[in-house]
Amino acid sequence: MEFRTYEDLNRVILQNMSKLPQNIDLVVGIPRSGLMVASMIALYRNLPLTSLDDFIEGRLFTPGMTKPKDGWIADLHDARKILVVEDSVASGNSILQAKEKIKQHSPYADRCIYLAAYVQKSSASLVDLYLEILEQPRIFQWNFLQHGFLIHACFDIDGVLCDDPSPEQNDDGPRYRDFLLHAPLKLKPQRPVKYLVTSRLEKYRPETEQWLAEHDIPYEQLIMMDVATAEERRRLGNHASFKAEQYRKHKDAQLFIESEDAQAREIFHLTNKPVFCVDSQVYYCDIGREHRIVQMAMRKNRVKEFLKQFRLIRYANECRKSLKHKLSENRGGGTLSHKTFRHKPVRLHLHSSSLRLSRRTTRSQGFAMPSRRWSQWS
């Protein structure tokens, strides 16, 4: 799994700033994450910035009082090149929707060029510029709370979902219970987290579950430390080893989100599984292991693409048999269009004794079929 932090993003932007066209007069961000990347580029180049919807409506963001505006365009009509920015492109749905929206609603579509910070090899052709090729599986620091990968993640609670208790609050008594019930929310996952793994004592499960419910934090399992008192927990000093044991035991867990850097390092060393530290913003991982995971995912995607093509061939052969049956009923020959049949994905042409699939039609569906007769496929 590939993980990129804000620091990684900033570094790759700076490394590529000089490669961007020099005649860009406006930067447009695709909300939400694309707007963040666009803002960084606009700040480094001292260019005006706007969002996709504001661009469609002909509006620019109001600049700050301290920002120098020398050379800025006064109106969209004055822009020579417009840079439309997305943070990443995988399937390409968001960038394609943005292109279509600009094409339909903006008179400046011909001045737009498209950039994504991160692309896959398969999606690089969807943009004009990209900063780094990054294959799946991947997670970004700015979207890990919304990522579907959370169903394979472990989260600490104190320091991640809420602040750590102060020494005065951590009395293993009334003040601590009050903290557990009223701790302010820090980070909120938008998708279900597989495991919440905390050093909180098991006896405080009711208060913890009540706080999680009140803040609508989705999770599947809450794992707490089963010791009698906080004094015993301090004597054992096994915060990190307890979390590592749970992380290692649950084979489906593939990422741990921890607050303290020292604990994050120890969890990683004990499990050799990736850990992201919220406080230090450091991602601890075995690079070789991560590379193998990415390679396995790429092989899996190639198999999926092969199976798609195989299903298309099988479907075309079924259409061929249907056409041969139709031919036996209509001896006159001729051309039969897809309107004759219920299924419409491809156009089939009947030519006396041979049948073929239109190459133009298959390419439009994403497949480049070999030009051979159907008798060779059967």
Among 217, 216, 183, smallest CA distance to 200 is for 183
How many Cα atoms occupy the beta-carbon half-sphere of 115 within 13 Å?
Answer: 27
Question: Among 55, 88, 90, which residue's Cα sits nearest to residue 73?
Answer: 55
β-pair partners for 26? 82
Phi, psi of 135 (to 5 degrees): -80, 160
In the prediction, which pLDDT does 325 show?
75
Tell me the one-letter amino acid at 90.
A
For residue 224, count other CB atoms closer than 10 A to its CB: 18
Whole-angstrom distance, CA of residue 78 vs CA of residue 73: 6
Q: What count of residues does the chain have?
A: 378
348/339 Cα distance (integer angstroms) = 10
pLDDT for position 370: 38
Non-local (6+) Cβ contacts of 302 within 8 A are none
The answer to whether the Cα torsion of 188, 131, 86, 66 is positive or negative is positive
Q: How far apart are CA 183 and CA 163, in angstroms?
A: 7
Q: Give burial (CB, 10 Å; 0-12/13-18/19+) of 130.
A: buried
Q: What is the pLDDT of residue 362?
A: 38
In the numeric block, the tokens 């109001």 are attached to 62
- Spell out the residues 6+ positions from residue 62 whose beta carbon is closer than 8 angstroms to its own: none
- Give the integer Cα–Cα distance in Å for 376 and 213: 62
Question: Which stretches in the chain have pLDDT values below 50?
Answer: 333, 336-378
Residue from 91, 94, 92, 88 nearest 134 by CA: 88
Residues 155 and 193 sit within 8 Å (Cβ to Cβ): yes
Q: Quick check: 108 and 79 in contact, CB under 8 A?
A: yes
Could you give the CA distance from residue 194 to residue 197 in angstroms, rounded to a whole number? 10
CA-nearest of 164, 350, 179 to 263 is 164
Domains of the chain: residue spans and CATH: 2-140 (3.40.50.2020), 148-285 (3.40.50), 301-376 (no CATH)
What pLDDT does residue 366 have? 39
- Predicted pLDDT of residue 352: 39
80-111: pLDDT as tens digits: 999 999 999 998 999 999 999 999 999 999 99
How far is the CA of 326 from the CAs of 206, 334, 365, 374, in angstroms? 70, 11, 26, 16
Phi, psi of 350 (to 5 degrees): -100, 120
pTM (predicted TM-score)? 0.70
Shortest CA distance to 355 belongs to which of 329, 338, 377, 340?
377
Closest CA to 157 of 259, 231, 281: 259
CB 199 within 8 Å of CB 243: yes
Residues facing residue 276 across a β-bridge: 257, 283
H or E stretch including 86? strand 81-89
Question: What pLDDT does residue 310 have?
Answer: 66
Phi, psi of 36 (to 5 degrees): -65, -45
